[in-house]
Amino acid sequence: MSEPIPPLVSCAVVFLAAVATLLSLARVVLPATTVRRLATPSSHVTPVRPHFRPYPARHAAPLAGEATRSVRPYVVAAEQATRRQELEPAALGLDGPGPYVIHGVEVA
């Protein structure tokens, strides 16, 4: 007759079998945490031609300096600050006195 298996060993075998089953189920159910990449670069990517410009120039010649108006940043900042101060009461729901001009139209 063979020796009986100790209860601790049989519990350990059952536990390891359960862990192995859970791990195999987890691999099937849960998505992979990393993206598998090919060892070599993919061959379906076409090389960019050396003369190809991805963003072609919109103008053939550079713009003349006289054609554009230069704006000083401090002037724009001052105008924005003034506009914000004018709009603060309206944001709080307060009505200001007198007529105002909005988009060139006088509004009472």
**DSSP label at 70?**
-
pTM exceeds 0.75, yes or no:
no
Cα(27)–Cα(107) distance, integer angstroms: 69
Regions of the chain where pLDDT drops below 70: 1-2, 5, 33-49, 51-63, 96-99, 108
Residue range 35-49, pLDDT digits in tens? 665 556 556 666 666
Query: Does an H or E element contain 67, and which?
Result: none
Region of residue 68 (phi > 0: left; psi between -120 and 50: alpha; otherwise: beta): beta
What is the average pLDDT value for the chain, to the nearest integer? Answer: 76
- List the chain domain ranges: 1-30
